[in-house]
Chain A
Amino acid sequence: MRLSPLTRALLGAFTALALVFVYLPLSLVLLNSFNTSRAFAWPPPGLTTRWWSQAWSSDGARSAIVVSLEVAAIATVVALVLGTMAAMALHRFRFFGRDTVSLLIILPIALPGVVTGIALANAFTTMLGLELGFLTVVVSHATFCIVTVFNNAIARMRRLGTTLEDASADLGAGTFTTFRLVTLPMLRSALLAGGLLSFALSFDEIIVTTFTAGSGVTTLPIWIYQNLFRPNQAPVVNVVAAALIVLSILPIWLAQRLAGTDESVAAAR
């Protein structure tokens, strides 16, 4: 498409403005993590790595990160297994209520976290008689992590169709061999992208976590929230936030690279 010089200039300006609006505050967080002033004075009176070493040695921050990583990892694994199975079931078989089931699987990601949180907490404590803790957080996170895996997997399956699986069966492979040798390799990049996204979703989840964690489990977002307004902890919180910015770029970048390989899958068809 051809654009006039004026349109191009305007579009460029708006794009720049939007990017600045989003990324300037983020870079401020990064900068402030080196700010010598405890109150984040502007401009920074000096630069220091003191807060980084303090954060590194903070037991609260470290254990919160470990808990968050564990929760995200387990929830993602659960989501990968269940999400893939659900996608296969809905893709391969026609049955009564198929569209409804599909909707019900996707719904949790659209529901307000408060509602999900209250509902799950109630169900855990009253109906199931569970004590709120690590397990309940993992299960709650898995409910919305499944959606990203499911969506990625079913989109890929729809694009691939069933002829490859038919061909595999025709050549003598049973259901599980076909899954191992054909279906899974064809889904791999979609599952990785979905898994990374669900990991990221779980890692920074705070609302559902607040309701389902009880008092014993502190994930990173909850730790940050608890320490944010303690003046002497502010620089450490800021460092953790800065570290998270750097860390979260990684999975998103990877997911995008993997989505790029989808094109080669399409080309193979």
Chain B
Amino acid sequence: MVKSFGPVTAVAGVDLAIADGEFFSMLGPSGSGKTTVLRMIAGFEQPTSGRVLLDDRDVTGVPPFARDVNTVFQDYALFPHMDVRANVEYGLRVKRVGRAERRERATAALETVRLGGYADRRPTQLSGGQRQRVALARALVNRPKVLLLDEPLGALDLKLRREMQLELKQIQRDVGITFVFVTHDQEEALTMSDRIAVFNDGRIEQVDTPARLYEAPATAFVAGFVGTSNLLRGSDARAVFGRDGTFSIRPEKIHLDDDAEPTKARGTVRAVVYLGSVNHYLVDLDGGGTLTVLRQNLRDSTDSALDQEGRRVALSWDDAHVIDLDDSGAGQPVGAGTETQEAP
């Protein structure tokens, strides 16, 4: 699909196949086109070119109200002049479902999102997290083929967001509906998704499982956007790997020692970032470039960790964990011939 707004191209060319019952996330920075794709699936936007197929049926020209798809909006869009029950029943009401069945299904949907006792409240009387659940119940009650979620957790605080992530995943497993989830939060996407499409600049960089995205990013953008980027390019790369290219190693795959043989690279600790259970060591390599090394605080006390600043260290890693981003086979570890990637 392609979507342009006047001279601005929001989606430059996206081709996606989402499987039935999948928890699928569209991850990317703001302005990368993920929300536009979501709105095209919902029917609020028409693609400039391309088609939307739902269960093999072409729904490209079908208006939103005739699509078997429901949306949880970013700001929830609850109807303020109706109570919670009327909000949840709305979709059934406009489809002329009988009063008794409507009531029954709305009650069940509210139970699913653990808001059983809130049916008579007004949306204004609910907290952000509760409104979010009502929006979810209002969409789920229609049993759509696909549920679209447009950054639904963005307005919640961190603790609540973590809770809702787990709960959303649980609800998706229980109801078995395909979820298409838009987010810019990589942790959120990794936590919940079966598969993730990473968007950048109106295109998809990579579609893969969370583990594959993390372990085998196809491009430098994915390596940087998902997890901490640890890139070595050009001459920095040559000094370590013996040839030019763009390489990435995840911080937790690097072993840091005072003096170890064999070693892959030597350098100086420029800074230690204390993060509680783990520390980040920023190491300037002798051959140029900087790598971030993650180390758990298993034995180190805070003081001894911070004391490492300015010290000479030796870095080592398993070649299987080095990702060659220039490889046309994209996302294959350097030692892929002998190593097998662990299945997610």
Chain A: which residue is nearest B88 at the CB level? A171
Tell whether, in the assembled complex, residue A269 and residue B80 are in contact, meaning their CB atoms are under 8 Å apart.
Answer: yes
Asked whether B332 is an interface residue with its Cβ less than 8 Å from the other chain, the reply is: no
Set of chain B residues within 8 Å of A182, measured between Cβ atoms: 79
A164-B79, A171-B90 are contacts. A268–B73 as well, Cβ < 8 Å? no
A186–B80 alpha-carbon span in the complex (Å) = 8
Once bound together, how far apart are the Cα atoms of A268 and B65, in whole Å? 24
B73 adjacent to A166 (CB under 8 Å): yes
Query: Residues of A with Cβ closer than 8 Å to B?
Result: 163-164, 166-174, 177-178, 181-182, 185-186, 264-265, 267-269
Which positions in B face A, CB cutoff 8 Å? Answer: 42-44, 63-66, 69-71, 73, 75, 77-81, 90-91, 93-95, 122-124, 138-139, 142
Partner of A185, one of B77, B78, B81, B90: B81
Q: How far apart sit A186 and B82, CA to CA, in the bound complex (Å)?
A: 11
Query: Can you list 25 contacts pairing A with B, beta carbon distance less than 8 Å?
Result: A163-B77, A164-B79, A166-B44, A166-B71, A166-B73, A166-B77, A167-B71, A167-B73, A167-B77, A167-B78, A168-B90, A169-B43, A169-B64, A170-B42, A170-B69, A171-B70, A171-B90, A171-B139, A172-B65, A172-B95, A172-B142, A178-B65, A267-B124, A269-B75, A269-B80
Check if B81 sits within 8 Å of A186, measured CB to CB.
yes
- Distance in angstroms from B61 CB to nearest chain A CB is 15
Q: How many angstroms from the CA of A264 to the CA of B81 in the assembled complex?
A: 10
CB distance B77 to A177 under 8 Å? no
Chain B's closest residue to A267 (CB) is B124
Number of A-B contacts (CB under 8 A): 69
Closest to A165 in B: B77
Give the one of A169, A174, A264, A265 with max B CB within 10 A: A169
Docked-complex contact B94 and A172, CB < 8 angstroms = yes
Interface centre among A167, A171, A174, A186 (most CB of B within 10 A): A171
Contact among B64, B80, B91 for A166, CB-based, below 8 A: B64
Chain B residues in 8 Å Cβ range of A269: 75, 80
A267 / chain B contacts, CB cutoff of 8 Å: 124
Q: Which residues of B contact A167 (CB under 8 A)?
A: 71, 73, 77-79
For A185, the chain B residues whose CB sits under 8 A away are: 81
Question: When chains A and B are docked, how far (Å) is the Cα of A167 from the Cα of B82?
Answer: 14
CA of A218 to CA of B40 in the docked complex: distance in angstroms? 58
CA distance A115 to B124 in the complex (A): 48
Q: Which residues of chain B come closer than 8 Å to A172, judged between CB atoms?
A: 65-66, 91, 94-95, 142
A174 and B95 CA atoms in complex are apart in Å by: 10
The reply to whether B81 and A173 contact each other, CB–CB distance below 8 Å, is no
Tell me, in angstroms, the Cα distance from A122 to B70 when the chains sit together. Answer: 55
